[in-house]
Structure 1
């Protein structure tokens, strides 16, 4: 049987290799959960255990319990019989694994799988919109530098560098590169900290609100484990970043970043 390397989503350090029996022991001890990542050699990426139905069934085997229930409606119908009766339908349902608890776990698993499947593309779109917001206001400046043949000076504008960075992260997310999630989470914290502060210092409530929405959306999308939370993340992240990109496309921030210049490359 194959061995597996595992790690938690919050850490880069992996453990292993472990066989199925060892993973089962770790799961029973609470050290391995459905959110634990394992390295999928076929896909060459880290994947949550919950998304591999075969492996998940081996590591987290179902242990259904037969339950007895007192049938209140039949207590007094037959004298001389025991006052407590067995609910046959409930017993049969439990024996077949069709219990309320299992149905709840199944719904949660499906919600997690759906959220995981769409998180990469949604996050990628957020990062592309963020890149457009950073770069579009500087397009006239870029064109001027290109016409002057001073291409290297473009690197003196940090917003262009951030835009390129966001675009690369967005492409990695579209390709479902797991490590890009942590990078996007760090980018969200930068937006919530520095970005919102700059908007507040400029006295621009609209920019401050959209920046906060964009950062919260990206952050939630990197940690969401349910479809409801993921939809909220998309609403905030795509809405905030998308509207910022729309405003930038329509000239709302023309000249906004022109004076934010570094001296990385001599003119």
Structure 2
């Protein structure tokens, strides 16, 4: 069960760690309030109890119930050996920086998430570049005709060229680390997973259908996860699937 350090806004000394049930007892006894601060390890900051998801049921019960006033409650007797010594803010900040055993695992998790984020962009660049190749290469003669004769209207007759241009735009965005396009890349991935997978399957091209399905799923996952192991797995699957699809044009 999670435990929390708490302190008053005008105090430098923290108390705890307390379980949510123990904090509920302190609230009921008037020894804490909604404005009392607790240390949130995820956000690495002191926040009021009123903002903590773990304390919402305590501060705002769904059903009205009779509560004793603080003066009607017996004093809470806590054995001295059960109460840990006060923890200063400096000690808490040191723990938040990963200098204690309690927070080392949190730093390790953040490190893995950072590596996953760093891997996602190169993987997306490779996958989208291969997608652009498979979109444009079969119509390369049309591309040369458009380039030489400036007949841009031909693009309307070959929508795959437009899709290839969109994929190249996504490649440029990923190179520039413009992660705001990730929702659009997910839409592109779902288009490949649904429409193009079905088209290849309907044409009887089952290897191509499988490659598009696996590659599109990998493209989606690489924009939606920060799990390092999942990122590595789907980056390999995506690049391999789209690479195999591109190679099929030379067979």
- Tell me the TM-score range normalised by the shorter chain: 0.5 to 0.7
- Structure 1 pair 199–147 and aligned structure 2 pair: CA distance change class (3 A): same
Which residue pairs with 1:208 in the alignment?
209
Q: Structure 1 runs of 4+ off > 4 angstroms?
A: 61-64, 144-149
The structural deviation recorded for 1:150 is: 3.6
Which residue pairs with 2:248 in the alignment?
247
The structural deviation recorded for 1:108 is: 1.1
> RMSD of the alignment, in Å?
2.9
The structural deviation recorded for 1:152 is: 2.7
**CA deviation digits over 1:194-242, x for unaligned, max 9?**
1111111111110111001110110110112121111112112111122
How many pairs align?
A: 169
What is the TM-score of this pair, normalised by structure 2?
Answer: 0.59
Which residue pairs with 1:194 in the alignment?
195
Hey, which of these two has a bigger chunk of helix by percent?
2
Alignment of 1:114-153 (within 5 A): 114-144=115-145, 150-153=151-154
The structural deviation recorded for 1:111 is: 0.6
**Partner Cα distance (1:172, 1:24) in 2:** 37
| Maintained 8 Å contact 2:128/2:167 | yes
Higher Cα Rg: structure 1 or 2?
2
The structural deviation recorded for 1:117 is: 1.5
Which residue pairs with 1:265 in the alignment?
none
User: For structure 1, which segment, 198-207 or 143-152, has the greater mean C-alpha deviation from structure 2 after superposition?
Assistant: 143-152
**Partner Cα distance (1:30, 1:139) in 2:** 57
Which residue pairs with 1:102 in the alignment?
103
Which residue pairs with 1:112 in the alignment?
113
Alignment of 1:74-85 (within 5 A): none
The structural deviation recorded for 1:29 is: 2.4
Gapped runs of 5+ residues in structure 1?
1-20, 32-57, 65-95, 253-267
Asked if 1:167 corresponds to 2:168, the answer is yes
**Partner Cα distance (1:232, 1:114) in 2:** 14
Asked if 1:156 corresponds to 2:157, the answer is yes
Q: Secondary structure at the match of 1:195?
A: helix
The structural deviation recorded for 1:162 is: 0.2
- Structure 1 pair 154–24 and aligned structure 2 pair: CA distance change class (3 A): same
Q: Secondary structure at the match of 1:222?
A: coil
